[in-house]
Amino acid sequence: MRYRFSFKSYRRALRLPLRTAHGAWTEREGIFVRLEREDGQVGFGEIAPLSWFGTETLAEAGEICRKLGDEVTDELLDGIETRFGCVRFALAAARAPNLAPASPERRLPVAALLPAGRAALQVLPDKLAAGYLGLKWKVGVERAEDELVLLDDLLAMLPAYVRLRLDANGAWDRRTAERWLAACAERPVEFVEQPAAADDDDLLLGLAEDFPVTLALDESVTGLSAAREWQERGWRGVFVLKPALAGPLDEMTTWITTTKPDVVFSSAIETALGRAQVLRAIFSADLTQRALGFGVGDVFGDWQWDGPPLGPLLDATWGDGVNPEALWNAVN
């Protein structure tokens, strides 16, 4: 099949900076793509790279878009290298804009993101009052000694039915990771995400063997091929997948339904366009029993870019409130 192809770059400031072990994140850059079939049907997609997370760079994505030209074919799009997961995600979504709708009665819980440091204590009461049953706290941002004290303060405020996830973003060395995991073994923590650097495979595997705490891979499994490799090595923990980074949604869905990994889906701080496509795919099949990592709030402070409000429960109709063409037209 042949398509008319066009693309637009965007840059949007985040409403509030997001602090992680990688540093402060203040804006989102990406590319919207548009494919028009010969029958006039139009599809949109979003390329939202995070090069510091292990994806292709925005410059690489832009160069691919420029080289594709104004007219493309399925064969040309299928030939894009696997390592360009964000580009492949967007183009696959634009080629298949009409996923079969999921049952509107189906709902999935959402885990709310707490800010790093002491600010989490101020935000926590509002998240509990809103009804969130899962929370995620960024660690590895401040001194371990201070954060471990804050962990006890946070847990003391949590009802027994609320689950807390910790995300170190690969910031800990061996000694710090062992100290944290020893402490978490005695505390009600759902899992600890990326306790060591993504390239330190031996340390990650060793920590998983030595401590009873459930561990999760995130930066280590940016692409679907990496997730497959870790699964083949016998990883028994959680796979945190950011679908907007991992490649075509149908490939991800097939892997999960075939091999049954323990998966958490997480936002890459994509706009409402990419997020709606991810969530439709998640609702189209039974892919996870864990709370979705999409409780990031109104990160852009603009309903058109954020999409409808996200609460503690998300139903399959969320994406119906997103207009991809309006987002496309909002970019000059």
Mean pLDDT by groups of 10 residues along the chain of 332 residues: 97 90 88 96 97 95 98 96 97 82 77 94 96 96 95 96 96 96 94 96 97 97 96 96 97 97 97 96 91 92 94 92 96 90
- Check residue 170 and give left, alpha or beta (phi > 0: left; psi -120 to 50: alpha): left
Q: 67, 127, 138, 260: which one is catalytic?
A: 138
User: Who's near 103: CB < 8 A, 6+ residues apart?
Assistant: 316
Q: Does domain 107-330 have CATH number 3.20.20.120?
A: yes
pLDDT of 20: 81
Q: 8, 136, 242, 260: which one is catalytic?
A: 242
Q: Are 33 and 91 in contact (CB under 8 A)?
A: yes
Same fold, 2-95 and 107-330: no
Pair of tokens at residue 260:
């049954």
What is the SS3 string spanning 27-79?
A: EEEEEEEEEEECCCCEEEEEECCCHHHCCCCHHHHHHHHHHHCCEEEHHHHHC
| Stated pTM of the model | 0.94
pLDDT of 96: 87
Residue 321 DSSP code: G
Quote the strand ranges of the chain, DSSP E. 2-20, 23-37, 42-47, 71-73, 107-114, 134-138, 163-167, 189-193, 215-217, 238-241, 263-265, 292-295, 313-315
pLDDT of 102: 58
Q: Are 208 and 61 in contact (CB under 8 A)?
A: no
Residue 102 DSSP code: P
pLDDT of 98: 65
User: In the annotation, is 136 catalytic?
Assistant: no
3-state secondary structure of 173: coil
Q: Are 177 and 203 in contact (CB under 8 A)?
A: yes
User: In the annotation, is 242 catalytic?
Assistant: yes
- Check residue 32 and give left, alpha or beta (phi > 0: left; psi -120 to 50: alpha): beta
Name the fold adopted by 2-95: Enolase-like; domain 1 (3.30.390)
pLDDT of 103: 64
Q: What separation, in Å, do the N-terminal and C-terminal C-alpha atoms of the chain show?
A: 29
User: Who's near 309: CB < 8 A, 6+ residues apart?
Assistant: 298
pLDDT of 23: 79
Where along the chain do its domains lie?
A: 2-95, 107-330
